[in-house]
Amino acid sequence: MLFAAAVLVACAVNAPGAPVPATATPDYHVRAIDPRVREWIKLGAAHSRTFDDLLNRLAKSDVIVYVQMVDRIPSGASGQIAFAAATKIVRYLRIEIDGRGSVFDIVSILGHELEHAVEIAAAPRVRDSDALATMYLRPGDASTWYDSAAARDTGNRIRVELARSAGRERGALHTKTH
């Protein structure tokens, strides 16, 4: 219920012609209330070309993503994406992130989920939860895990880019990532 209210407020605030707050950040179509999540988004954009590319691709789409940190995801995953709502012109997705782990881990998981958002943005027929489930179903796979090789590769690439950036900033010759 609280999330639905947040989506309605966001729709009103982000409606065409609505005033833009003076403290607005670049409109990446990725939103968060939690300041930690906003910092992870900023960090990803600043230190990972792949993460920044995902944000820019979403900004050019009809998809708006709300990211929230949760204490636990029932499936045991570290992140998940769900369809929230759709209007005639905008589709809303929700990403939940388990905020435990290193910043590299969290930002790479968020990037993994943002890759899914980009995949959904590229599929205009996905306008509800059933269509989202169908998009990720594979013949002979009865699991409820929605994943893609592209999302796994994206998360790994973001982790490497963050580590390289951290190594350059510290002047380190080698940063261990795994």
Domains along the sequence of the chain with CATH: 27-165 (3.40.390)
| C-alpha torsion 61→85→29→163, nearest 10 | -100
Full-model pTM: 0.78
Residue with tokens 């590229």: 122
Q: Where are the beta strands (DSSP E) in 71-138?
A: 79-86, 91-98
- The model's confidence at residue 31, banded by pLDDT at 50, 70 and 90, is very high
Per-residue pLDDT tens over the stretch 162-178: 999 887 766 443 444 43
Closest C-alpha among 140, 152, 130, 138 to residue 50: 152
